[in-house]
Structure 1
Amino acid sequence: MAVARILFPMPLPEPFDYAVPEDLDVEEGSYVAAPLGKHQRLGIVVEMLGDEAAEGRTLKAVSEVYPTPPMTKAMRDFLAFAARYTVSHPGHLLSMALRARAGLLPSATETVFTATGETPPRMTEARAKVLDVMAAADDPMTAAQIAEAAGVSSGVVRGLAEAGALRATDVPTDPPFPPVNPDLPGATLTAEQAEAATELCAAVREDIFHTFLIDGVTGSGKTEVYFEAIAETLRGDPEAQVLVLLPEIALTQAILSRFTARFGAAPAPWHSGLSDKERRRTWRETAHGRARIVIGARSALFLPFRKLKLIIVDEEHDGSFKQEDGVTYHARDMSVMRGKLEEAVVVLASATPALETVVNAEMGRYTRLKLSARPGAARLPDVELVDLRADPPAKGMWLSSRLVHEMRATLAAGEQTLLFLNRRGYAPLVICKACGERLKTPGTENWLTEHRYTNRLVCHVTGYSILKPQMCPHCGAADSLMGVGPGVERVAEEVRVLMPHARIEIFSSDTAQGGDATRGIVERMENGEIDVLIGTQIVAKGHNFPNLTLVGVVDADSGMKGGDLRAGERTYQLLSQVAGRAGRAERPGRALVQTYAPDNPAMLALADGDRDGFLQIERDVRAELGLPPFGRLAAVILSAPSAEMVDQAARDVAALAPNGQGIELFGPAPAPITVLRGRHRRRFLVKSPRNVDLSAYMSAWLGKIKLPAAVRMSVDIDPYSFL
């Protein structure tokens, strides 16, 4: 009897061996059910052993094989690599690949009805209503849908079916996605775009692993270029699949219409905003190879593709590709590894590529494709720094006279303005005027943000939310709580006073909750129904508003605070992306950037359009300090209910750190967010040379550690957040 080695999506020490009954068709990669303890558990066969492995052993037997194509070897190897690299348990990685387990089974069916054109022998008023509904229907409908639309009972529908006036058909509740057509005509490409597309298409035809960087200014047509690579991939192999990763759900919604126009059908979506039904549909269709194009957020990288031949990471610089909770990973870097294992082409696209990506391109690991200009009459916006030391806003206001003047002129010209401030709500801090108390989330050091539209105080780290108190919870003073600093709601309030006739909307995760809300704001902006759009970073990526000619950055300095090694780079990227929303059609655009630090290298580079010069400064600093991409980092965070407990645990953990050549250990030290959800936090930072296997070092260290039950530990290889 053959033996299957099964990995379960659980934190178990290793795969377990099971006997395979002769009547079950089991192979490596099969999705199976097997007894584990008192329950049947879903698992993956990671290895098949010969009959000799069962000799002398009493093994439980595999119970069931799911009717899903086996997980490919490339996918299994990818999960194993990701587990080693992130110092995570393989079962946790497998769990990420099984997030829609209902997709393992075939779709359930439902009965729908269509009109046959026959007239029933007996006609009643209710039957007439049903036939009227069916005459106007474009698609088949269920009995419940028909009955609701006609205002009758479902029995009337069934009676018409029995009489031959309606035809009943059983169809899947999760139908396949409409087929895409790679042969539809694409946009007319410029010579520069066509050259880049030709090189991508040639690599796709070679059917080998290759990584490209499309380095193009905002509005240069990066999407149209990689559309050609998608079309070539789908044309060249009827089984090939394509994955497109985007950093934001809002961006996913915005680009779906472009995919539909280019390929005749929308791609299969995958992101946290989907319903369980939508997720299981995408998972099932991807696993069976029927979803040819999948577009989604970072977790789409863990979908079980049958034949993944092209991976595109759009806005590859974006920090949203870094997963901070649970298994910590960077989807951009993991995409390159998955592409290597799948022998697929990987395309990274950005107007402001990460320094790590630029260095990889310059060292020859990636092929760089430059797009230096916008097509047609569109040109890059002029960027001007507004020195708030010389032109401060009026007292209690946040917009300088220069920016207000330009906004009014833009409105008078019938054009649109975008104001950018990366702070949600009305005010980022609420204090008591009587006693000076700063309102914080219970059990943390996080300030509560005032949201005036909902009259709530919200913590954007933990999600804690309360109605705004009438009295100070510390001293009891009435009506003493005051918001300090601007959020997008306060800026909107100011604009309404300054420009009372302007049509103003806020675009943030508070106002764009879900795909419909996001699409609504984007469509109103595209249709010219908004004069001033005030938004957080959600507005900075991928949107194309033809009548937007002015961008105003309210507080350009906010991202420069703290000890983040990428603070300058991240600020430059974000502000450059925001400024790039202006002037994307025939009308020229301009951007005004309000700052108290106009001499900062990031601000000077933004005003001069000197991205390469800025990156050279960043490169020199990081090379000098041995920081990424010229060195490697890992972070360890310990947390416990008390400061004394976490300090003792940190001392114990530090004592177990192995010696390693070139390894530097910093800490333990209080984390920047010292108390979170009632737990005290301490942080280690580990630095190593680039050629050291830092994951192996961390694994060896963690293998020695035994923590008290109340102490928790998290590990982050290549940290992006330093909180």
Structure 2
Amino acid sequence: MNRARLLIFNAALGPLDYRVPDGMVVEPGSVVVAPLGPRQIIGIVWEAERLPTEPVPEHKLRPLIEVLPVPPLPAQLRRLIEWTADYYCARLASVARMVLASGGALRGPSKMIEYRLSGAEPERMTPQRAVAMDALQNEQSTIRELADLASVSEGVLRGLVNQGVLEPVEVDIDRPYPKAQPDFAQPKLSAEQTEVADRFTAAVKAEEFAPFLLDGVTGSGKTETYFEPMAAALRMGKQVLVLLPEIALTEAFLRRFEDRFGAAPIVWHSSLKSTERRRAWRAIASGDAQVVVGARSALFLPYRRLGLIVVDEAHEVSFKQDEGVRYNARDVAVMRGHFEKIPVILASATPALESLQMADSGIYEKVELPSRFGGATLPDIGIVNLTEEKPERGRWLAPRLVEQMKLRLERGEQSLLFLNRRGYAPLTLCRNCGFRFQCPNCSAWLVEHRLSQRLSCHHCGHETQPPATCPECGEPDCLVACGPGVERIADEVAEIMPGARIAVVTSDTLNSPEKAADFVAKAEAGAIDVIVGTQLVTKGFHFPELTLVGVVDADLGLEGGDLRAAERTYQQVAQVAGRAGRGAKPGEVLIQTRHPEAPVIAALAAGDRDAFYEAETEARRDAGAPPFGRWAAIIISSEDENEAKEAARAIGGTRPNLPDVAILGPAPAPMALLRGRYRYRLLINARRSAQLQDILRDWLGALKFPQGVRVAIDIDPYSFV
């Protein structure tokens, strides 16, 4: 190549051509450094025919500066980047940026200096130094990352370095990972599991695209069935990717993996230190990384020899990215499998309706595990009608649920209470004047968190201390918590059962892998009697002594007009119900509701998943909703309310009039103010016959907006706020 076309990460510029200097070797996928004005930029060499731009004469081309010492991005990954950008109406550069997720991996020395506490004491102890030293016990990282961990300035830590309190440690960043051994511990599988595992293993050996829907009841041993094709991939020298929806689930998975394969897999998520990200990225790109377990972003890493993708809990909403490139990792995983020509396993006890429809149409191969492993039985499910079995005044747990919890405590068994609402109370108001605490940046009430003594917005992260007096009328001791969150339910349990050991499990309390591991260890050791948690506890955990699950408010998920509200409620409640009776002891589930006649609740009570999905399928078919029709959203936002409104009107005023497309709006979004930006929204409902992405690109591409206006497209939206 004597000229190269680059995909660069500058939103204002398209592809650029450069001259390749004599002696420099580049190919499509090479990551290079190029000049742009007085600066240097990083770009990816792309096939010129796939990235059209205005031709530039040869004599005007500037030369590339260098090729970075990383393997070129494979053709299969480049095709995935193109498909994702096209399908989700995103910029090609925005998708490609996710591939180069570790800037440090692209260049630099393989050794660097990190710091850790030396055990020495500072000459003078200040409050900030004390905070830092408490926070950094057992931590080792760069000064910048340690400052973030300790919530102090880098200057405080540099002072501790100068006094020898923090000592430097040289780290070999590119040191190899321990090797997983496919035959380390052969499992004992049931006949059902063996049949499923053999089917997956055959697909891995065939080295062809094969999408599977692994539909297995909770506790059926789905993980063990996909460990066997992972072992087959490792024997073939292939890499494996496992996507998990929550970091909190990672620790339990890592332990099961290490028991089976003798070494931990490589972990990838947003909380990794920069040195860990660099080490993992380079091992993945070189092909040395064998198994990667990660959040959705792990899907775009540059695997050299990918042989299998597993998406665990594939129904989970958290696989959908709601900012930036708004992709669904479940669907993109299937497309990566298509481009790589490898099997993809979507595993779930409550599959998404879209996945079931793909299986019914023969696009996915459906594989079932209909019974629990080892003779364990599914729990009995009972309905507590809150209009008849009312909790005591000022309380939220019905007498029957309380009675069963006390019985479990006497037996030395565990109970789990599920309420998908973090904090103590979702609303705090003044009983004197009615003032309500609202977020200054969002159309949302501040949530009271008593454990951390703060009022918090769960949308933008704004926090404030609860005041002693009402900000509106000045009345002291007048603030009232309205409604329950998990902390309030935990307080109620402590009052009812004073001797019970209680754990509150939310993204606030399990916000690191270490805390998640500590919780799992205590629960398995029987050091916890009652777990009170949000959706974080609905999946992945296996506690043999947990025999009672109480759903505090099953109606909560049905509020708000979400198009998938019924399906999501069914999935959450069915998943949390599946935590009960996973060992030798039988389990029981009590679902508190004010609407026992609702189809979702009736289906849960009857244990009739097929009837629920059949009714939901027909409702979706009648409404032209996914998977029978297509939805998209256009979200307009600006810090200036009038600017956002005018931009929304301009979009609405130029809407295309097409027979197979219905356009609703513009209207203020349900969350009309989010992170200081005013928001308007249009919803598009299209038949399958419509070329939805082309319609959106042609429609919006003809319009110009003020600089402060952002217009985002969300294909197949999951959030409607």
What's the TM-score once normalised by structure 1's chain length? 0.90
Name the residue aligned to 1:163: none
Q: Give SS of 2:652's match.
A: helix
Report the CA distance between 1:690 and its aligned residue.
1.4
Q: Residues of 2 paired with 1:442 and 1:427: CA distance?
A: 18
Cα distance in 2, alignment partners of residues 673 and 445 from structure 1: 6
Question: What letter is aligned with 2:63?
Answer: A
- Partner of 1:320, secondary structure, is helix
Is residue 2:333 matched to residue 1:340? no
Residue 118 (structure 2) aligns with: none
Which residue in the other structure is 2:220 paired with?
220
Q: Distance in 2 between matches of 1:207 and 1:675?
A: 49
Query: How much does 1:107 deviate?
Result: 5.3
Does residue 8 (structure 1) correspond to residue 8 (structure 2)? The answer is yes
Q: How do 1:693-704 residues align onto structure 2 when only pairs under 5 Å count?
A: 693-704=691-702
The equivalences for 1:557-636 within 5 A come to 557-636=555-634
Contact 1:503 / 1:531 at 8 angstroms: preserved in 2? Answer: yes
The counterpart of 1:60, out of the listed 50, 59, 62, is: 62
1:76 is the counterpart of 2:74: no
SS state at 2:684 partner: strand
Residue deviations 1:118-152 (CA, integer Å, cap 9, x gap): xxxxxxxxxxxxxxxxxxxxxxx99xxxxxxxxxx
Which protein is bigger by CA-based radius of gyration? 1
Distance in structure 1 (CA, Å) of the matches to 2:602 and 2:242 = 34
Aligned-pair distance for 1:647? 2.4
For residues 278 and 608 of structure 1, what CA distance do their matches in structure 2 show?
A: 48
Distance 1:696 1:33 in 2: 33
Partner secondary structure for residue 293 of structure 2:
strand
Alpha carbons of structure 1 residues 476 and 332: separation in structure 2 relative to 1, 3 Å? same
More deviation in 377-386 or 173-182? 173-182
Q: Which residue of 2 aligns with 1:47?
A: 47
Match of 1:190 in 2: 190
Q: 1:713 aligns with which of 711, 714, 719?
A: 711
The number of equivalent residue pairs is 667
Specify the code of the residue in structure 2 equivalent to 1:79. Answer: I
Of 390, 408, 424, the match for 2:388:
390
In 2, distance between residues paired with 1:170 and 1:466?
Answer: 40
**Which of 532, 535, 551 pairs up with 1:534?**
532
Does 2:304 correspond to 1:306?
A: yes
66 and 408 in structure 1: CA distance in 2 versus 1, 3 angstrom threshold = same
Query: Per the alignment, do residues 111 and 384 of structure 1 end up closer, same or farther by CA in structure 2, a change over 3 Å counting?
Result: closer
Distance 2:70 2:708 in 1: 41
Q: How does 1:206-605 map to 2 (within 5 A)?
A: 206-235=206-235, 237-238=236-237, 240-605=238-603
Q: Provide the secondary structure at the position in 2 that maps to 1:272.
A: coil
176-185 or 453-462, larger mean C-alpha shift: 176-185
CA displacement at 1:172 relative to structure 2 = 2.5
- The alpha-carbon deviation at position 42 of structure 1 amounts to 1.1
1:151-190 equivalent positions in 2, closer than 5 A: 172-190=172-190
Aligned residue in 1 for 2:654: 656
Change (3 A) 1:203 1:615: same
Instruction: Quote how far apart the aligned CAs of 1:359 are.
Output: 0.3
Superposition TM-score, scaled by structure 2 size = 0.90
| Structure 2: distance between partners of 1:331 and 1:386 | 37
Shift of 1:171: 7.7
Match of 1:685, SS? strand
Residues 212-258 of structure 1, C-alpha deviation per residue, up to 9 Å, x if partnerless?
010000000100000011111111x22x1111001000011221011
The 1:56/1:674 distance shift into structure 2, 3 A limit, reads closer
Deviation, 1:514, is: 0.8
SS of residue paired to 1:57? helix
**C-alpha distance in structure 2 between counterparts of 1:670 and 1:464, whole Å:** 22
Provide the secondary structure at the position in 2 that maps to 1:294: strand
Query: Contact conserved, 1:27 with 1:48, CA < 8 A, in 2?
Result: no
Structure 1 unaligned segments of length 5 or more: list them.
113-140, 143-152, 158-168
Residue type of the alignment partner of 2:3: V
Contact 1:488 1:535 in 2 (8 A): yes
Q: How far does residue 99 in structure 1 lie from its aligned partner after superposition?
A: 1.4
* Stretch deviating more after TM superposition (633-642 or 422-431): 633-642
Cα displacement (A) at 1:55: 6.0
Query: Distance between the aligned counterparts of 1:460 and 1:313, measured in 2?
Result: 27
Match of residue 109 from structure 1 = 111
> How big is the shift at 1:660?
3.2
SS of the residue aligned with 1:43? strand
Give the aligned partner of residue 127 of structure 1.
Answer: none
How far does residue 503 in structure 1 lie from its aligned partner after superposition? 0.7
Q: Which amino acid aligns with 2:288?
A: R
Does residue 92 of structure 1 match 2:94?
yes
Q: Deviations over 1:645-664 (max 9, x none)?
A: 32222111112223334011
Name the structure 2 match of 1:644: 642
Question: Deviation string for 1:592-639 (max 9, x for gaps)?
Answer: 111111111111111111111100010000100100000001101112
* 1:382 counterpart letter in structure 2: D
Alpha-carbon distance, 1:13 to partner: 4.3
- Work out whether residues 9 and 93 of structure 1, in 8 Å CA contact, stay in contact via their aligned partners in 2: no
- For structure 2, list consecutive stretches of 5 or more residues without a partner in the other structure: 50-54, 115-139, 142-162
- State how far apart, in whole Å, the 1-side matches of 2:109 and 2:564 are: 46
Aligned to 1:287, the other structure's residue is in SS state helix
Contact 1:186 1:224 in 2 (8 A): no
1:383 maps to a residue whose letter is I
Question: Structure 1 CA distance, aligned partners of 2:10 and 2:334?
Answer: 26
1: CA distance, partners of 2:706 / 2:48: 38
Q: Distance in 2 between matches of 1:173 and 1:243?
A: 22
Structure 1 residue 101: Cα displacement: 1.5
Distance in 1, Cα, partners of 2:32 & 2:101: 16
- String of CA shifts for 1:32-66, please: whole Å, max 9, x gaps: 111122211111111269xxx88643211111111
CA distance in 2: counterparts of 1:637 and 1:578, whole angstroms: 33
What secondary structure does 1:243 align onto? strand
